[in-house]
A and B are shown apart, each in its own frame.
Chain A
Amino acid sequence: MDIQGYNMPEDLYYDENHFWVRVEGGELVMGMDDFAQKLAGDIVFVQLPDEGKKLKKGGKLAKVESGKWLGKVNSPVNGELIAVNEALESKPNLINQDCYGAGWMYRIKAADNDLGDLVHGADALQKWMAAELDKYADKK
């Protein structure tokens, strides 16, 4: 769905830092959402940790850089990193070009299916984005 110019598919789950999660069978795929990639500008680096990395919900997964800003990516769940998008090593701006497709970032085997605290569904997404747009308004 389009929310004030941002493409936010309603079938995905979103964490508070604007990373999306898609359930694919027993695995999760995650990436950066359209709101975050547009605000970030050109992504110049995506850290691709070794597969097998144990993940703790809310714990550090990796780092992403754009505009000389090195940001954190936190894990949305407890689990294990099972794959990374190797294409991002040489083309990190795939995230800018196609954040929900070719610009996916990580594939995770979740320890449980608890996505309850992620934003999901049209109504919740609308409400959350309205608050986010207000929070990120151009306040000097």
Chain B
Amino acid sequence: MLLYDLGRVAWEHSQLVYHALAELGREALVLCAPDRPYVCLGYHQDARLELDLDHCQATGLPVFRREVGGGAVYLDPDQTFWQLVISPDNPAAPRRRDVFYRKFLGPVAAAYQALGVASEFQPVNDLVVAGRKICGTGAGEVGSCWVFVGNLMRRFDQAAMARVCRCPDEAFRARFARAMAGHLTSLERELGAERAAAVSDAGLRQALAREFGAVLGPLTPARPDPELWAEVERQGQRMLSPEWLIFPRKPRPGRTVKVRAGVFLCRRELDTAAGRLRLDYLLRDERLTEVELRAEDGAETGPELSALARAWEGRGLTELAETLAASWPTSLGPLPEPAALARRLAA
């Protein structure tokens, strides 16, 4: 398999090269980092619903929509990207996704471990250190190939990520940043700034190349050739257009942002006889946690609403309808249909 160790590249090439390789049907491992920050959306995401596009435009932050799965992410030169392009006919590529993910996250986990970070695989497709995610991933079928991409994070700018995300208000944005701090980690956080700084970007790419080579067999160093650049150009014309970027989706009520697999920060509004209420919570493994219930304007709640929030704390979605029926105070008027409300609170 070919190895394109590209080092730092123009931000758009950090996405277009692997799309081009897949369209050409050329198996390869690409290692690179972008020369500047940008935001990358998953294929299924509507930029207008997911991002604060005014902020991105005002700060000159490019936005890209990739043709693989996963969600919106802030990317910058502090992250080293690994991008595997492999044919479904390659006997090294397991057909079962769970096996595929485990196999090809193995080299990334090993690279972290070689650097002194005890990362481990967590199904379906995460790497974690003591429960904190340390690797973003996305995968899909592009051209005739399967593509699996992700990053090795020297550090992750959680404040920048929270800033580019579309949030209903600044309180929600602050909670999102706090949630990421609790659920994400990085090389720098695990090793300390000094030890992390001692590892060069080239050293990170070497570690990845070595570990992927152990799984894929010998990797043959390659440089982009005219055919590849021509395909990069073609993909750029398609994927850097406004028509590609905006993928219209129907807005859903409330707001949900993903923190990591199984952890979502949610905002819902509830209309009651006492007025509209603002409900914020962290949905963790389908349980409501850190529940906050306030008046629409964000004012402090009285003891009755605080008690209601406490009653919902830690409840699973499956038991929520029953909890709602048992805890709903008469001062809020008629009880909403509990099963319907419980469905609204799901991610």
Contact = CB atoms under 8 A, between A and B. Distances in A.
B124 A67 contact: yes
B138 interface: yes
Interface in B273-320: none
Interface in A78-94: 89-90
Q: Interface residue tally of chain B, by bracket?
A: 20 to 34
B96 A136 contact: yes
Interface string A10-40: 0000000000000000000000000000011
A45 B44 contact: yes
A140 B94 contact: yes
B43 A68 contact: no
Contacts of B252: 90
A63 B139 CA distance: 12
Interface stretch (A69-77, A95-103, A104-112, A113-121): A69-77
A139 interface: yes
B235 to A, nearest CB: 16
Contacts of A66: 69
A90 B43 contact: no
Interface in B72-121: 94-97, 99, 101, 103
A48 B138 CA distance: 21
A135 interface: yes
B54 to A, nearest CB: 26
B125 A67 contact: yes
Interface in A125-140: 135-136, 138-140
A61 interface: no
Contacts of B69: 65-70
A70 B94 contact: no
A58 interface: no
B35 interface: no
A69 B139 contact: yes
Contacts of B44: 44-45, 47, 63, 65, 70
Given A63-B43, A89-B250, A68 B99 contact: no
A49 interface: no
Interface residues of A, number: 22
Given A65-B43, A65-B69, A71 B103 contact: no
A59 interface: no
B94 A139 contact: yes
B250 A68 contact: no
B67 to A, nearest CB: 7
A123 B140 CA distance: 32
Contact of B96 (A44, A70, A138): A138
B52 interface: no
Interface in B109-149: 124-125, 137-141
A72 B141 contact: yes
A69 B99 contact: no
Contact of B97 (A39, A45, A140): A39
B18 to A, nearest CB: 13
14 contacts: A40-B97, A47-B44, A65-B42, A65-B44, A68-B124, A68-B137, A69-B97, A70-B43, A70-B140, A70-B141, A72-B141, A89-B250, A136-B95, A138-B96
Name the 9 nearest CB pairs between A and B, nearest first.
A70-B140, A45-B44, A68-B69, A70-B69, A68-B70, A67-B124, A65-B69, A69-B139, A72-B141
Interface of A: 39-41, 44-45, 47, 63, 65-72, 89-90, 135-136, 138-140
Given A70-B42, A140-B99, A140-B103, 18 more contacts: A39-B96, A40-B97, A41-B97, A44-B44, A45-B43, A47-B44, A63-B44, A65-B69, A67-B124, A68-B70, A68-B124, A68-B137, A70-B43, A72-B141, A89-B250, A136-B96, A139-B94, A140-B94
Interface of B: 42-44, 67-70, 94-97, 99, 101, 103, 124-125, 137-141, 249-250, 252
